[in-house]
Amino acid sequence: MTSKTLFEPYTLGSLTLSNRIVMAPLTRNRAGPGFVPGDLAVEYYSQRATAGLLIAEATQISQQGQGYQDTPGIYSQEQIDGWRRVTKAVHAKGGHIFLQLWHVGRVSHVDLQVGGGAPVAPSAIRAKTKTFVNNAFIDVSEPRALELDELPGIVNDFRKAAANAIAAGFDGVEIHGANGYLLDQFARDGANVRDDAYGGSVENRARLMLEVTAAVIDEIGAERTGIRISPVSPANGISSSDPQAQFDYIVDQLDALGIVYIHVVEGATGGPRDVAPFDFGLLRRRFNNTYIANNGYNLELAAARLTEDKADLFAFGRPFIANPDLVERLKTSAPLAAFDQATLYGGGSAGYTDYPAIAMVSQS
């Protein structure tokens, strides 16, 4: 038992966070032409800068890595410049912000790929899921299996994206290794049936995730590198026959690499925490740096887990959509506003930057 509180400062690498509350990355599909974050993104993130740490929305490392319409990138100069405006606004309010680096793998559609090509995956197994493209949710396309000689290029795309994120002013990056996207696809045997050095054993299936992490560390340093994992989440049609063994090994290797945090989706992404048997406490004990807990947390659960020393930081996702001042609302036990489902994905300011802070509500 500890006497820690959610609202006290926390040291994350070289950063001093104002509290232990993290804004989880949230895909909102509002990037402008060229997949560049615009004025709305600047306002959206700066409104939420009171979080101890903001993790910006999943951002593709290349066009091949894109799986949804109007999601931002971090591979062109225009995208770097657009994100720099966001980080500048967040820092001006005293906030800290990481960027989540994303390659969706098979969770994509030919309409988003260069030349209408097939999405890529560890194996040519179509995901049983949908993606948001052409202003609708439709089935993902049939993928093709990546060739061995293509994998170093993907590792390098992550490396370059990390460098670009730092050039854009981010305090660090979060590698997206969760929710059924490319690195998670390689790690899980429901999507990876390769018989080469990247398939088969626990060690082989972890190889690409660990190579990407090592490359990012080499580029920007371990103190600015985190990763998100979701050991048992079935998101985007992913599955695994051995999640405990797989992710015990992965976390051991991540610990050896010295990254600043692991961000763990405990259970089904956006769903039940007990979707499958798994000892998340074991991951906590195996990792010596910061453990960010995610999935279904409210004030009471986060405070209890902190008292029990089950995590260091707590990520809140959807509550931040309609509550830009979520930290203050939690701190004062103010009621939380509900978000509008119809405006979650795509569109303009409605349902994005027009949710008021509690002070504005009380004055109206």
175 alpha carbon, distance to own chain's centre: 7
Distance CA 298, CA 307 (A): 14
Distance CA 352, CA 335 (A): 19
Distance CA 342, CA 332 (A): 29
Specify whether the CB–CB gap between 238 and 185 falls below 8 A.
yes
For the chain, state the CA radius of gyration: 19
Specify whether the CB–CB gap between 8 and 286 falls below 8 A.
no
Catalytic residue among 44, 45, 68, 181: 181
Q: Which residues contact 162 (CB under 8 A, 6 or more apart)?
A: 101, 173, 215, 216, 219, 220, 225
Q: Which two tokens stand for residue 77?
A: 């100069």
Distance CA 158, CA 292 (A): 22
First CA to last CA across the chain, in angstroms? 42
Residues forming beta bridges with residue 98, ordered by sequence position? 55, 172
- Determine whether 181 is an active site residue: yes
Q: What is the DSSP letter of 272?
A: -
Task: Kindly list the catalytic residues.
Answer: 181
